[in-house]
Chain A
Amino acid sequence: MIQEAGNNIKTINSISLILDLFAYIGGSIFAFLSAVGRLANFTGRSVKHCFTPPFFPSQLLRQLIDIGYYSLPVVGMTTLFTGMVLALQSYTGFSRFNAEGAVAGVVVLSITRELAPVLAGLMVSGRVGAAIAAEIATMRVTEQIDALRTLSVNPFKYLIAPRVIAATLMLPILVLIGDIIGIFGGYLVGVYSLGFSSASFISQTWDMLEYMDVVSGLMKAAVFGFIVAIMGCYHGFNSARGAQGVGAATTNAVVSSSILILIFNYLLTQIFFS
């Protein structure tokens, strides 16, 4: 009798434990889905306001300069050294098979297809995404966004649209410049350190250069720029109150946009090259 009752209690306990677990999993899935829904709604509204007047050209110009021009040194340095190290590493590898001639090709392909867009995206997410999130979160916390609305200006049009447009337009331009600098880095190492002749390195580069490689990289860059701006704006706009809220918004913007960039890079590569 007692034994049986004990067993019953055990079964009931484990059932309620399993129910708790289901409730927990269900709750997490629900929270995740509603977060995705909020982000999708925010993205939709942002895009809509990019295309409907009134526009704020002076805000757009400021963002084009902030996001594009001031990111040039970061992107330039990143791609330069990446191109250089690529030449070095591929030379070490290929010389074992007497295939040194492939070095230029490896540099061109890796830079244009993957490394320039992804590294530029990640660097810009650290520089621009963080700045966007911090600025908009500060505006939220200090009631500047409320002030905008009471002065009859839609914050989506005034704050968000210029940043989204600027980042989406400027990242491909940054990456194009990054492509050139990165390949130039490979050339420097190839010619001055690995002993290639300048003419043969250039001709090998030229032979391997495909229109589609560059264009796919630039299209990736546009998507990454969009992701960086949207995540910066989203986390800034929905910032919790107080200085802590601003800090959290900045961190979340950089982490989430970096991860999304890597995920979308995979998806886009799958679409372009299979």
Chain B
Amino acid sequence: MSDKIKIELKAVTKAFGSNRVLDELYLSVPEGKSLVVIGGSGTGKSVMIKCILGLIPPDSGSIMIDGAESTGQNHKIRAEFMKKFGMLFQGAALFDSLKIWENVAFGLIHGHGMCKKEAREIAIEKIKAVGLKEQVANLYPAELSGGMQKRVGLARAVAISPDIIFFDEPTTGLDPIMAEVINELIVEQVKGLGATALSITHDMGSVRKIADYVAMIHGGKIIWKGAVGDLDHSGNEYVDQFIHGRSDGPITRRLA
């Protein structure tokens, strides 16, 4: 693996009204590696990913993808960046008016102009790859359990063979066994594609399973970053408190 930087955020700031969610945040992800961002709920993890994806424009700062600036670009250039991305949303975000296979094939058909028949074959292959039966392909999302929806969401995210995959809390709300299955599938799919992965989670089991590097977000900034092996002796009291889930420490719950 090269040590090329795939994603680089410099001084990215985003506020909603007076709520400064990202405050001059710096972060970089090396090519072909898996970086996991940890942090409490409401600390801006999802907002950070949406800024990188271009779904939310940051107020200021720079986001480089493959060394090219992605913020403030027109639709055409944005569309080219978008084709490199796959994303698994927190609630899977499957299109409920479409069948499972149509969901998985969606990016291939509409984003990449593939014909329906070919896209369907790839979709079914991906559905099987995430451990679902072929018959599931013709069901609608509402007919699946939460865990199955996450698997379909994963299949949809990897169907277009993206360069960079984002996972927003892939295991939240799942039972421990299903969470483990999803973690394994993530590792398998990311390694299989040779993709770069950026995940966010507050599930420590998930972190240890899928991360090469870990970064912690707090107060709108990345306050610690290191290899996953260094997590237990980071020497950072915020990280210590978070990974051990202690209620006393520097991270205090603001009671609004």
* A residues with CB within 8 A of B: 54, 56, 139, 142-144, 146-153, 158
Contacts and interface: CB of A to CB of B under 8 A. Distances in A.
A149 B55 contact: yes
A238 to B, nearest CB: 14
A152 B89 contact: no
Interface string B75-113: 000010011011101110111100000000011001110
A143 B90 contact: yes
Interface residues of B, number: 24
A153 B94 CA distance: 14
A142 B93 contact: yes
Contact of A146 (B86, B93, B111): B93
A142 B93 CA distance: 6
Nearest to B50: A146
Contacts of B22: none
B140 to A, nearest CB: 14
Contacts of B93: 142-144, 146-147
Given A146-B50, A146-B55, A151 B89 contact: no
A151 B95 CA distance: 12
Interface of B: 50, 53-55, 79, 82-83, 85-87, 89-91, 93-96, 106-107, 110-112, 156, 160
A143 B106 contact: no
A151 B106 contact: yes
B111 A151 contact: yes
Nearest to A154: B75
A153 B55 CA distance: 12
Contacts of B85: 150
Contacts of B96: 144
Nearest to B82: A152
Q: Which of B90, B93, B107, B112 has the most CB of A within 10 A?
A: B93
Contacts of B112: 152
A147 B95 contact: yes
Given A152-B82, A152-B83, A146 B89 contact: yes
B110 A152 contact: yes
A228 B159 CA distance: 37
Contact of A143 (B79, B91, B160): B91
Contact of A147 (B54, B83, B89, B160): B89
A147 B110 contact: no
A13 to B, nearest CB: 30
A128 to B, nearest CB: 16
Sorted nearest first, the 10 A-B pairs with minimum C-beta distance are A152-B111, A151-B107, A143-B93, A147-B93, A150-B87, A143-B89, A153-B110, A152-B82, A144-B93, A146-B55
Contacts of A143: 89-91, 93
A214 to B, nearest CB: 36
A152 B107 CA distance: 7
A41 to B, nearest CB: 15
B82 A144 contact: no
A144 B111 contact: no
Contacts of A144: 93-96
A150 B53 contact: yes
A166 to B, nearest CB: 15
Contacts of B110: 54, 56, 151-153, 158
Given A142-B93, A146-B93, A147-B87, A152 B50 contact: no
Contacts of B79: 152
Given A144-B96, A146-B55, A148-B95, 14 more contacts: A143-B91, A144-B94, A144-B95, A146-B87, A146-B89, A146-B93, A147-B94, A150-B82, A150-B86, A151-B111, A152-B79, A152-B83, A152-B111, A152-B112
